[in-house]
Structures are given as C-alpha cells and as structure tokens.
Amino acid sequence: KAGVTQTPRYLIKTRGQQVTLSCSPISGHRSVSWYQQTPGQGLQFLFEYFSETQRNKGNFPGRFSGRQFSNSRSEMNVSTLELGDSALYLCASSVRSTSGANVLTFGAGSRLTVL
Amino acid sequence: DAKTTQPNSMESNEEEPVHLPCNHSTISGTDYIHWYRQLPSQGPEYVIHGLTSNVNNRMASLAIAEDRKSSTLILHRATLRDAAVYYCILRGNSGGYQKVTFGTGTKLQVIP
C-alpha cells in the first residue's frame, strides 16, 4: 500500500514569497500532522488535522497555516517567507489521533530553501 | 506537553546489542511510549511502541520501567543500517488531541 506522499520534494523560494506544500496520507488514515525540522530546533510540531478540522497547533506564527480536504489530503501554507523558514517540512498520517497507540507514518518531507 | 530526555549520541560496534535509554518522568497514565528513527535524508520511521509491558517486534525490543518513568530501546544486533537518530516520544490516549513533542533524539553510530 502506498505510503505518505509529499510534494514537492525540493523547492527554492525568495524572502517575502509564499509556499504551499501538499501531503497525501495513507489510504484510510484520517489524521494528518505537520512538523518542521531544522538543524538548530530539531523536529517541531506545527499542527494536526482530523476530519478537515485543525485539532491542535504548535507555537508557530500565523504565517503558517494548513487545511485538510474531505479525502484527508492536507496542505500547509507559509506566507511572507523568511530566511529562518528554510527547513525540512514533514507530514505524518495515522488512522486517528485520539488513541496514543496509533502509529505515525511519515513522508519523506519537502525541503524548502528560502533565499 | 509531555517531554522525553535522551543522550545526544551513542556508539555501538556492529553485531553487538545496543541499549538506547529514554527518560520520561512526567509521563501520564495513559501515554504510550513510541520510538521512531530517522535515517539520513529520510522522514522518521516507526520502530516500536508500548504502554506498560515490554514489547518485541522484528526490529527491536522495548523495555519499560515498572514506574514507566523511563524506557529502553534494545537493538539486539546492531548493523550499519541501524545508524540513525532515534527519537523517543509520548503519545496520549486521553481522548483529546495532543501535540507530539520530539526531543533531540540519540544519534547512534555503528562502528564496523
């Protein structure tokens, strides 16, 4: 069965631009969560969506937003890009998020470089 | 948010067992302990998880302390392919939605 698919895998933007990243979860998984990974801060939780609703949000500015569609696919958007937004953005899916036993399956990530 | 503490790095010789520790003193009664690992240039991958009892699967074993404030991931025979950053995280089972907090993880180096 197909894994978690993230697109694009690599992209380069300039400061002030905006970017949209896409995540297709494993079929049947309804929970999608997003993470930012940088060398300095490690893996940080961005937000989680379940049934098209944001269920939790990490400590990131409002420039970071996301949404989930009825087919569970999710997108995240970063507006007014800053140099510090350069990172690997990871998406993970699970069957549902209310059970601690549910395993997260991660995608390979989208590597964003902001110049 | 429940937090975990792990050593920054560890070394192991190839084909020897590796014990990776994790402290989670603020764990709640319904938190599951999960381990993931991240190979270079890849997203994290699931290794094992447990609640109270020790767990075994084809990849590893998880030993959970009786008070659940610490756990140990055991790789029975380390191979070069096991060189990765290992993350121990807690996932709640409270019925609500929880942020997932990753620590800095343990970078495992396997020496041939």
Give me the average pLDDT of each 10-residue run along chain B (112 residues): 86 96 90 93 93 92 96 96 94 63 89 96
Nearest-by-CA chain B residue for A109:
B43
**Quick one: pLDDT at residue B104?**
82
Please determine, for residue A100, whether its predicted confidence score (pLDDT) is greater than 90: no
Distance CA A48, CA A80 (A): 22
**Quick one: pLDDT at residue B97?**
58
pLDDT band at A97 (very low <50, low <70, confident <90, very high): low
Count the neighbouring beta carbons within 10 Å of the beta carbon of residue A39: 7
**Quick one: pLDDT at residue B34?**
93
List chain A residues with CB under 8 Å of B42.
Answer: 108-109
Alpha helices (H) along B8-65: none
Give the start-end residues of each E strand in A58-99. 64-68, 74-78, 87-94
Please determine, for residue A98, whether its predicted confidence score (pLDDT) is greater than 70: no
- Quick one: which of B49, B31, B39 has its CA closest to B99? B31
Structure token digits, residue A60: 């990131």
Beta-carbon pairs below 8 A across chains A and B: 70
Mean pLDDT confidence for A20-41? 94
Mean confidence (pLDDT) of chain A: 93
- Looking at the DSSP assignment, which residues form a beta bridge with residue A94? A31
Total residues belonging to chain A = 115
* pLDDT tens for each residue of A43-71: 899 999 988 999 888 889 999 999 999 99
- Whether the CB of B42 is below 8 Å from some CB of chain A: the reply is yes
Given an 8 Å threshold on Cβ–Cβ distance, is B97 in contact with A98?
A: yes
CA distance A79 to chain B (A): 23
Mean pLDDT confidence for A84-108? 88
Please determine, for residue A26, whether its predicted confidence score (pLDDT) is greater than 90: yes
Long-range contacts from B23-30, C-beta under 8 angstroms, 24+ separation:
B23/B69, B23/B70, B24/B68, B24/B69, B24/B70, B24/B71, B24/B88, B24/B90, B25/B69, B25/B70, B26/B2, B27/B2, B27/B68, B27/B69, B27/B90, B28/B2, B28/B92, B28/B94, B30/A100, B30/B92, B30/B93, B30/B94
Mean pLDDT confidence for A7-14? 97
